């Protein structure tokens, strides 16, 4: 499934690359286009989150009222969501899309000759064999197709991709190219942007709770909020681990996506707030 989407995304990324002739710029424009396409889903998700905050107080009342009757609690909870025209699983769809996008782009970036440039498999395998005959490994963290681009890109335009971007080689893998500090610049910026994005989300949620007059008493909802806060620190560490073993092209996509997400959150928060004030 992920290979299918990677192949589809590859057509778009290659189309952009043929125009800008630079892998880094192509990834940036690719990220912007994907973000625009997914904007309706993001807007719906933000509206769902705002509505979810509003019904939390009602949820607390139900949890207290039916704390000894799980069956009735589930029944009343479903009735509450139905009355608010909302599904308890409304956030799952967006999460699934994000997961598919994440893994598909990973497939795309690790095998750009296959999914982006659509190079014949026989040609790629031939170059892999040549590299192996030289006593070098094309597997593991070296990423076979990235290795082929590095070794034979200048000789054969069919396997050439211009990966030079602002003085950085986007074919570098931080863990493999650890002697070059430049390999860690984009992953570091990605982690910083992740912290900013998560902190922004946390602050927005706190602000929404204050606007709705919610208390900070210890309860199940507060436990969930605390867990989300802890995730703010765990996720960047997990993401950094992945970006250290992947070509820099993936980290660049994540970085651009994070920056666009920050702008999106600020813009939608202002827009939805204004929209809410008009409806009030």
Instruction: Determine the average pLDDT of the residues in 161-174.
Output: 93
Distance CA 91, CA 47 (A): 11
- CA-wise closest residue to 17 among 30, 32, 4, 3: 30
- Which is higher by pLDDT, 135 or 1? 1
152's tokens: 């034979």
> 153-158 long-range contacts, Cβ below 8 Å, gap at least 24?
158/117, 158/119, 158/123
d(CA 142, CA 70): 53
From the list 122, 165, 129, the residue with the least C-alpha distance to 144 is: 129
Angle between helices 70-83 and 56-65 (to 10 degrees): 160
Task: For residue 101, give the H/E element and its range.
Answer: helix 90-110
Q: What is the pTM of this model?
A: 0.79
Comparing 176 with 49, the larger pLDDT belongs to: 176
**Domain residue spans of the chain:** 2-117+161-279
pLDDT tens digit sequence for 57-97:
677 777 777 777 788 888 877 777 777 666 655 556 666 78
- Tally Cβ neighbours within 10 Å of residue 267: 10
Q: Confidence class of residue 24 from pLDDT cuts 50, 70 and 90?
A: very high
In angstroms, rounded to a whole number, what is the distance separating the alpha carbons of residues 30 and 7?
A: 14
Tens digit of each residue's pLDDT (9 = 90 or more) over 110-158: 899 999 999 999 999 999 888 888 776 554 446 889 989 988 999 999 9
Which pLDDT score is estimated for 140? Answer: 45
């Amino acid at each position: 499934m992920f290979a299918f989407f990677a192949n589809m995304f590859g057509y778009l990324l290659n189309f952009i690359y043929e125009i800008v002739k630079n892998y880094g710029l192509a990834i940036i424009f690719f990220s912007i286009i994907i973000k625009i396409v997914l904007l309706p889903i993001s807007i719906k998700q933000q509206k769902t989150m705002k509505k979810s905050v509003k019904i939390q107080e009602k949820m607390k009342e139900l949890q207290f009222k039916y704390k000894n009757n799980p069956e009735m609690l589930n029944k009343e909870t479903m009735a509450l969501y139905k009355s608010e025209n909302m599904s308890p699983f409304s956030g799952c769809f967006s999460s699934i899309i994000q997961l598919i996008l994440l893994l598909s782009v990973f497939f795309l970036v690790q095998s750009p000759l296959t999914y982006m440039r659509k190079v014949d498999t026989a040609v790629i395998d031939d170059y892999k064999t040549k590299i192996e005959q030289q006593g070098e490994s094309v597997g593991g963290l070296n990423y076979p197709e990235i290795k082929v681009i590095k070794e034979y890109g200048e000789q054969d335009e069919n396997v050439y991709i211009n990966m030079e971007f602002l003085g950085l080689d986007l074919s570098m893998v931080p863990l493999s190219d650890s002697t070059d500090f430049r390999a860690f610049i984009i992953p570091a910026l990605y982690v910083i942007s992740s912290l900013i994005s998560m902190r922004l989300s946390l602050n927005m949620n706190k602000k929404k709770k204050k606007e709705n007059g919610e208390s900070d008493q210890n309860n199940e909802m507060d436990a969930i909020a605390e867990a989300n806060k802890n995730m703010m620190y765990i996720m960047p560490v997990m993401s950094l681990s992945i970006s250290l073993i992947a070509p820099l092209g993936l980290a660049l996509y994540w970085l651009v996506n994070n920056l666009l997400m920050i702008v999106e959150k600020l813009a939608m928060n202002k827009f939805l707030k204004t929209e809410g004030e008009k409806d009030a």
